[in-house]
A and B are shown apart, each in its own frame.
Chain A
Amino acid sequence: MSLLRIDNVTKSFGGLTAVSNVSFEVEKGEIVGLIGPNGAGKTTLFNVINGFYKPTRGSIIFKNENVSGKKTHKLCKRGMARTFQVVKPLQRLSVLDNVIASAYVRENTHKKAQKVAMEVLEFTNLAGDAHVISKGLPLGKRKRLEIARALATKPDLLLLDESFAGLNPSELNESIEIVRKIKEDGITILIIEHHMKIIMSISDRVVVLSYGEKIAHGTPTEIGTDSTVIEAYLGVAHEGGAHA
């Protein structure tokens, strides 16, 4: 059985259908890339998966349980964590406190929560910034803090929303390495990304959304040669020139 099944999910905002009848599965242990042009509905799909929105139609099956409309914090306890495209650090708290706050989901004492937090900060190369107030962190590190916080909740499924956007080349390599290590630890990853090269190199499978609909689904090689995708997605990206 798959860890996550998205079953005919539709999400509309009034007249606008942001996600339209999308279905796919994520198997345990794999990295699935979710790509598509701006406004394709990727973030909205994440918001449906992690319970911020109830799907207008369809359902989300997580660990063999229909979780559509379940509260976000409950899903986190069940083993689903996410990062935000527009980072949401707990601004006036230190980096360490940010991560401790999320470690408390599984740990009961401050000592244990802090231990988990420090391990996660080591893992994400943020230990040196543990006592920095997170408002003052540069974007690259804030993106990593998002990952660190999510990891501290000890998830089975990690939803990464553009964790690589806005990073410089060395930060990019650092983050790719971290994502690889997360996978090695047995955590399943669903990742939204615009950098085509990265997504093709780290994903086991790729799902392509365009205007809310799933237009393709397959291995990176299959997707890379799919004419619909090249037209709908790569074409847009090249013309727009916004993302390479």
Chain B
Amino acid sequence: MDIKKYLPYITLAVLVLFPIVVKNDYYTHLMILVLMWVVIGSAWNLIAGYTGQVSFGDAAFFGTGAYTAGLMVTKLGWSPWWGLLFGGFMAVLIAMPFGWICFRLRGAYFALATLALNEIMRHIATIWESLTDGMVGILIMQDFVSKLPYYYIALALAVTTIVVIKIVMGSKWGYYFLSIREDQDAAESLGIDTHHYKMWSLAIAAWLTGVAGALYMNYMGFIDPHVVFSLHDISIMAILVGIVGGVGTHYGPAVGAFVMVAVQELFRTGGFGIVMKLAKASESEFIIDMAQVITKAHVMGFGILVVLSILYLPNGFVGDWDKILRFLRLKRPNNMDNNDIDNIGEAKP
């Protein structure tokens, strides 16, 4: 399909024009979040989807990046934008010793270690009050009133992320990451220093996630340990973005980011207020109560979504695109259904 080839460029053009055409702060805000999640989700996909080292602790890197940006202002009096540079760097500084020790662990044990890292970082940010102001958090003045600059910076970061990962995955490193994911023993015996390359994959992922954190500090103007080191709002969300879009697919995280931010917003606002309005219209106490529960239970909604997507779309929206089309009867069944997964490493002679 030719359209598939041009889709990324068409999408990019739409994204560039979006805030100018739509001229709506609320939607622009949501799109900034989507673009930020494209960065985080793609980074998670690199280490978990492509390299097979599932991380439950992306918030450790995100929060480190955010705090780096914030502290540049409160401690050094610099512009928080330096955080885009140093935030990534600091996240790598955290990731390297962690990876050096914990990459000896395999599978679920590594995932648990990332979870621990997440919690350790959150506690450090909470307890080390002389540096971080603890639970009070960090409040800075945003540089721009308009959302447009943030939008375009986020867009630039998202595009850079996708391009960088594309280049990496097309190189020797990409082959090595995939080999490690597929079979670590085989990879070792093929001459791949698995420990070393896992560290590289983690370093790139941590860098990108840290930069996203720094962007968040700049854009939101306020962070505290519970927001940026949140296990469920950041670490789990990163996993959801990866899974829903399609683990180990190039554009999966981008699609996942869009879907997940939309879903999050849908739940958070109770179907943009529609659920509450309908409930109130019914004038029944019980229904209003139920509606309130539903709108507050967005975390549960998340959980249900994950279960459904693992059951019916194990390869995510991108990986199972053909399946979705068939379900919607837009495409006749075909047997050559070697889904999109991994055609990144595919070489054409």
Contact = CB atoms under 8 A, between A and B. Distances in A.
Contacts of A101: 175-176, 178-179, 187, 190, 192
Interface string A85-108: 000111111101100111011001
Interface stretch (B131-139, B293-301, B338-346): B338-346
B189 A90 contact: no
A50 B190 CA distance: 11
Interface in A50-88: 50, 52, 71-74, 76-77, 81-82, 84, 88
A97 B193 contact: no
B349 A82 contact: no
A10 interface: no
B185 A88 contact: yes
A124 interface: no
Nearest to A96: B347
B182 A93 contact: yes
A153 interface: yes
A interface, over-half SS: mixed
Interface of B: 170-172, 175-176, 178-179, 182-183, 185-194, 248, 338, 341-342, 345-347, 349
A60 to B, nearest CB: 15
A88 B192 contact: no
Contacts of B187: 90, 101
A97 B347 contact: yes
B193 A90 contact: no
A113 interface: yes
Contacts of A96: 347, 349
Given A76-B188, A110-B170, A114-B349, 8 more contacts: A73-B188, A73-B192, A74-B193, A76-B191, A91-B183, A92-B342, A96-B349, A97-B346
A72 B188 contact: yes
A153 B190 CA distance: 7
Nearest to B179: A101
B176 to A, nearest CB: 7
A133 interface: yes
B300 to A, nearest CB: 33
Contact of B346 (A52, A76, A94, A104): A94
A71 B193 contact: yes
A90 B170 contact: no
18 contacts: A52-B185, A52-B189, A71-B188, A76-B191, A84-B185, A84-B186, A88-B186, A89-B186, A90-B178, A90-B179, A90-B186, A91-B183, A92-B248, A92-B342, A100-B347, A102-B191, A110-B172, A114-B349
